[in-house]
Structure 1
């Protein structure tokens, strides 16, 4: 984007052009906030959003995450009608496979919480799990957790829908313009310095994902966000693969797969992965992946790999997002650190940030996600690590 396209002033500057940032820009503009400017250092969605596996769900272990997931899922269900953009939503369900008694007990508690919040999840036996996902070898499994309204969709299409709607509502989306630092004077935000000049503003929303920490530090705000590479593969065609295959997760190993084209999209966390902005594909994790595939889905052991990519999770110490407004500077808002859940929570998070900006009670109470929970004076025992980080 040439410098001439960069506005000199904005009422709000949103930094980050993924789903969280675009949803925020859209909801601010639609609420009547004028001169909303979104800055993206590359192309919209090119950061973590379009590297995501596309899962959308409300199965979480903490109430605020359940509510953000469920509210976002309702948006995905009506996305085509609301935004005129087909997102290829497949509500085939999420299926968590459990082979440990402690995990079973934890998921039983999760399901009870989810049901209280209106999510139709339930515990099922191994026979039903295998009927839902026939490629799995049930050896060692004790139970599974299942919610039929979860599923997956196409992140690039969600980006396109929000971008078009945000522009139509009056937001200015500036691509290829990196935000270098937030400017402030006397504890008050005064602007954002970009690679193409300064945008004067009194409000910044940091939705920069894995790149959030340095931006926040430029204005004295500590956002404990660490980049961590996760890799995804897409197989060659799998004969007889059922398009209704659920998003299946072997919880103990984190191995997952779902239907994609004529094959499967699959991935797994690498316990030996180290933090850093590593965006290239590596092979170190493949032996571990192969071992789990051989054990849990042996029929896939000889299926070839057609493509793959690497992306960044934006990890926080407790695997929960950071949403709020900084206390030490006015006005610096943040929505980041979702630890792999930013895409699926993005629709609701945009609504929440809109409400925080407008000074009204947010549609979901996110007070527990304030970055102050990691301050030196906070009680570490109050942290509630999110169990489901796939």
Structure 2
């Protein structure tokens, strides 16, 4: 498979680590929601057409559902308090990597195929003429462009708005606490997500634990932040709730020391799927994700290339175009 070949011969070292992902519910209501989520995923997979030249491949990665008793009997989880778990969804083919190294890998391969990069350069303006994007102003220098593609992460809404393009993209905070348990634990754990609170826990190879938070409610509770104004300190309420959740699920981490912390900004769309491709302004395309940009970037590049080079909307158009949202149905 191509994505396996990509990791098999890298110039950089993304250091992909396969750990599996365990979504756990600790209430009867949460258990019911996880069961419904699992049933929906299974049903969706059964309804997808088989892969073909013109059709995206179906997701066939393994997925299982466990109630509390089955979880204890089926998986070895010595540090997880399974007594508080009511139900869980397990995905064995989930892992993590170093995103900066993966970005370097993409850059290196693009450069090898003729792409050029202007690093540490500030884009000050997107030039437009007669309702079309015609270029950029970079560090005070005007640069002509046949097409402009905006893939600016949390800056996407602000940049697009500057040329009259409104995006259905908002933000949530992405706080991270790095903890060092008082007692070294050698046994590996899957990536654990608490369904009710949105906290995720992941053990690193060096024994430290990363705890992140994805607010429950997604787009409905999202807002818009200025990335330049975000503090690197995790808010006190999130810190307190996160540590309480961690100690409840993994009692062995009690009294763990916080050794680092930082806060990012996560983009969010109404349906949690990316907004990719043409916009209402000719010559201006968008790549706006909903938390999964690094994973979907290769496919996104192919979609945008097909649109700009071949004027082909691609078979992904209905699922990725902004026109899928009724308030944008006057777009191309």
TM-score tier by shorter-chain length is 0.7 to 0.9
Name the structure 2 match of 1:135: 79
The answer to whether residue 124 in structure 2 is matched with residue 173 in structure 1 is no
What SS does the corresponding residue of 1:174 show, helix, strand or coil?
coil
The answer to whether residue 53 in structure 2 is matched with residue 108 in structure 1 is no
Unaligned runs of 5+ in 1: 1-73, 380-390
- Structure 1: distance between partners of 2:90 and 2:318: 29
Unaligned runs of 5+ in 2: 49-57
1:75-102: CA deviations, max 9, x gaps? Answer: 5533333433331111221111134213
State whether residues 203 and 331 of structure 1, in contact with CA within 8 Å, keep that contact through their aligned partners in structure 2.
yes
- Structure number with greater Rg is 2
The answer to whether residue 185 in structure 2 is matched with residue 240 in structure 1 is yes
CA 1:307–1:120 in 2, change beyond 3 Å: closer, same or farther? same
Which fold has the larger relative contact order, with Cα–Cα distance below 8 Å and residues 6 or more apart in sequence? 1
Name the structure 1 match of 2:285: 333
Name the structure 2 match of 1:124: 66
Deviates more, 1:153-162 or 1:108-117: 108-117
The size of the alignment, in residue pairs, is: 303
1:175-225: CA deviations, max 9, x gaps? Answer: 111222221211222111223311101201110111011221233211132
Name the structure 2 match of 1:200: 144
Name the structure 2 match of 1:371: 322
CA shift, 1:366, in A, is 4.0
- Structure 2: distance between partners of 1:262 and 1:250: 20
CA 1:195–1:227 in 2, change beyond 3 Å: closer, same or farther? farther
> Given the alignment, which residue of 248, 267, 270 partners 1:295?
248
- TM-score with structure 2 setting the length: 0.81
- Structure 1: distance between partners of 2:315 and 2:101: 25
1:145-192: CA deviations, max 9, x gaps? Answer: 122111111112101111111111111111111222221211222111
What SS does the corresponding residue of 2:34 show, helix, strand or coil?
helix
- Structure 1: distance between partners of 2:233 and 2:172: 13
State whether residues 114 and 121 of structure 1, in contact with CA within 8 Å, keep that contact through their aligned partners in structure 2.
no
RMSD: 2.7
State whether residues 152 and 247 of structure 1, in contact with CA within 8 Å, keep that contact through their aligned partners in structure 2.
no
CA 1:76–1:265 in 2, change beyond 3 Å: closer, same or farther? farther
CA shift, 1:330, in A, is 1.6
- Structure 2: distance between partners of 1:273 and 1:182: 27
1:97-141: CA deviations, max 9, x gaps? Answer: 134213311222213434662222222343554535432222343
What SS does the corresponding residue of 1:173 show, helix, strand or coil?
coil
> Given the alignment, which residue of 83, 101, 105 partners 2:10?
83
Name the structure 2 match of 1:37: none
The answer to whether residue 287 in structure 2 is matched with residue 345 in structure 1 is no
State whether residues 97 and 143 of structure 1, in contact with CA within 8 Å, keep that contact through their aligned partners in structure 2.
yes
> Given the alignment, which residue of 258, 275, 281 partners 1:322?
275
CA 1:132–1:84 in 2, change beyond 3 Å: closer, same or farther? farther
> Given the alignment, which residue of 8, 14, 21 partners 1:94?
21
CA shift, 1:377, in A, is 6.1
What SS does the corresponding residue of 2:83 show, helix, strand or coil?
coil
